[in-house]
A and B are shown apart, each in its own frame.
Chain A
Amino acid sequence: MTAVPPTLPASVDAEASKDIQRVGKLSRAERRAIAVKGKLSSPWASGLAIIIAILWTIPSIGLLVTSFRPALDIRRSGWWTTFSDPQFTLDNYNDVLFGSADLASFFVNSIVITLPAVVIPISIALLAAYAFAWIDFKGRNLLFVAVFALQIVPIQITLIPLLAAYVDADINGTFWTVWLSHSIFALPLAIFLLHNFMKEIPSSLIEAARMDGAGHVKIFFQVLMPLLVPAIASFAIFQFLWVWNDLLVGLTFANQDSRPLTVAVADLAGTRGNAWHLLTAGAFVSMIVPLIVFLALQRYFVRGLLAGSVKG
């Protein structure tokens, strides 16, 4: 996603203010060192971060500006020419949302696809991760490595066999094919991340619960679950963004009536590309939900990037 500018400047600022808070407790030499460091590196770092952020955002801004331009302008000149001759219209959004493309109704499809495709893998992965982390059984490590290794299977090579299996099982053409496919593709990473998160919980906590007579079910729901909420949230965001933005799985497994927003956007350009000026507006319509999710849950997202990644 190029939609969201990186949060570098904000985090750099936070670092700087932390440095300042710490200053009071330090010796004079250290204080001087920090001051020097602050004078030298911080403006450069912030400046660089800001430049990167701007460069990173320019294409997105270009897309946004383009999406409001009249069709002929989009096709004949670059978005930057808008500044000398500003002309804006909402026609593209009107066409995209309520015209023949009617993206508004595909929103529902995308939501219907995304929610189960997030809930199913997380539910299964939680149970699997618990087993891998806290139940001792023979071949556990080998099995865990096997599950972990599944991540290297590229989803492209699974498309045809998977579709053939769905056809044999006679569930082709339903939402199940999309839900199951997303779940299958998500599980290896989900199990790995949640397992690592669960492993980080001190074993004394689990043992104490066992001493008190708690079984696996009780430990799972009453001891681990409350501690796991941030991990679940961060993975849920990952999976949500992945499924929402997915084109390949939707294209291959969804039928005409269950296709998600991304597939509809891909078809916006028309049979011979004669309506490609609608693509930018379509892209922004499909971006709204991930943007809201990202901004609202940014905290978990950044934490999730670090979760479980250091400990194997």
Chain B
Amino acid sequence: MTRSILSPKRRALAAVAGGASLALALTACGGSGGSDETSGSSGEASSIDCAPYEEFGDIDGTTVHVYTSIVDPEGATMQTSFEPFTECTGVEVDYEASREFEAQLLVRVKAGNAPDIAFLPQPGLLQTIVRDTGTIVPAPDAVSKNVDEFFEPTWKEYGTVDGVFYAAPMDANVKSYVWYSPTAFADAGYEVPETWDDLMALSAQYSEDNDGAIPWCAGVESGDATGWPGTDWVEDMMLRTGGPDVYDQWYKHEIPFNDPQVVAAFDAAGEVLKDPAMVNAGLGGVDSIATTPWTDAGFGLLDGTCFLHRAANFYQTQFPEGTDVSEDGEVYAFYLPTNQTDIKPVEVGGTFAAAFNDRPEVQAFQTYISSADWANAKAKATPNGGWVNANLQLDPENLATEFDRLSASILTDENAIVRFDASDLMPGAVGAGTFWTGIVNWLTGSSTQEVVDQIEASWPAS
């Protein structure tokens, strides 16, 4: 098994050994030791067809170093999902995760210490590394073929920079969700709304039925990334008021950020976020959105102080352990509806596997994680749910929860128009800078026009 599957206790022992003798430490920690030790934790692993990896030759006994932002407990399920690959090929997967991944990856790349594979959480980072350092190697043909076969073409586009395909999509997050309490809906006799107008009518209905109670709760505080949940709101509205084509023009800056269509999207989001009659249920006034942690903003659904909360599918892991997330449970989510009749725009996020090395074992591993085998192995390795990807051959039966199956069905819906989170696609100065701060200003009193003008002025000249 991999070195990192060693139990932490054993890791600690290795550390003691390293400390006991300074000279020995070099050898003890420098090599990729412990390769034959098994932890015996491969219970969840399923056997797969090993044929696709034969073309990479004899790679038994080699190691692939993976660096990612996915830490435990999600990291543990990730490692389990790699076990079928290790069984097939004998290649160890050395898994390293850090929450400081994005900053540390750039440090390592610049210092010449890049990992073999990095799971990049946004296409913008892929573009930055490819264009600034040129250290990421193009994906091998086998990966390209897998992605063509298993994913919608838009996903491949997000892993492509300047016409060269680098990174296959891995995880997918569905951001176009509204969280609600099915029990509260059932008690009041409400139906899940089918259009945006229905949703607004339902919000008004709720207020009316409950003496002017405020229906929505929201929060965009997220440390040094404060504002990003608000950008998701605007992006979702952009897809619904402007449509996917305008959305593409928007993040590519083919239309200015202060274009009237962008203003319209902000104002559509403002129908909820800037209306004191709509927000901020149980938390305060409109300006409390900026100071409420996004992780906790939706907890009002559990005790009835909040009625509706727009958040991505990964919000389900925020709810306390033991919360019943199901269609007739304590909380569940419905697709953020649209007035468009022909399409169902879906805002997504996701990670992409980029390689810094073209050794055969690295390419074999890339092939594995772009395959349907991996998607299904990962689904099986995640017994508590909270994971989906956009692989068309991901068998919904393997997904652990009802909610994950809903996410998968939204992603693969034939009317679904999938668009990646625009702030992850814009230049960093905007997408991870002025767009975030603009949202905070917007929520604390600035007008839409002021905010979009400011963001437009900050767009870097290319």
Contact = CB atoms under 8 A, between A and B. Distances in A.
13 contacts: A71-B320, A72-B299, A76-B299, A100-B76, A109-B15, A164-B111, A174-B18, A175-B19, A255-B96, A258-B29, A271-B99, A272-B317, A273-B295
B296 interface: yes
Contacts of B96: 255-256
B296 A112 contact: no
Interface of B: 3-4, 8-9, 11-12, 14-16, 18-19, 22, 25-26, 29-30, 69-76, 94-100, 104, 107-108, 110-113, 222, 295-296, 299, 314, 317-318, 320-321
A252 interface: yes
A166 B112 CA distance: 10
A143 interface: no
A229 B300 CA distance: 59
Contact of B25 (A104, A174, A251): A174
A156 to B, nearest CB: 10
Nearest to A107: B12
B320 A267 contact: no
A116 interface: yes
Contacts of A164: 110-113
A167 B112 contact: yes
A146 interface: no
A76 B9 CA distance: 34
Given A174-B26, A276-B295, A251 B15 contact: no
Closest 5 CB pairs of A and B: A112-B19, A163-B111, A105-B12, A164-B111, A256-B96
A257 B320 contact: no
B70 A263 contact: no
Given A72-B320, A256-B96, A160 B107 contact: yes
B99 A163 contact: no
A45 B291 CA distance: 38
Contacts of B71: 267, 270-271
A218 interface: no
A257 B14 contact: yes
A175 B25 contact: yes
Most buried by B among A252, A255, A273: A273
A129 interface: no
B33 to A, nearest CB: 10
Given A159-B107, A270-B317, A272-B318, 15 more contacts: A71-B321, A100-B72, A100-B76, A109-B15, A112-B15, A112-B19, A168-B112, A173-B30, A174-B18, A256-B95, A258-B18, A267-B72, A271-B99, A273-B295, A276-B295
B298 to A, nearest CB: 11
A266 interface: yes
A176 interface: yes
Contact of B111 (A116, A167, A257): A167
A263 B104 CA distance: 12
Nearest to A259: B98
Contacts of B94: 256
Interface in A243-292: 251-252, 255-258, 263, 266-267, 269-274, 276
B299 A176 contact: no
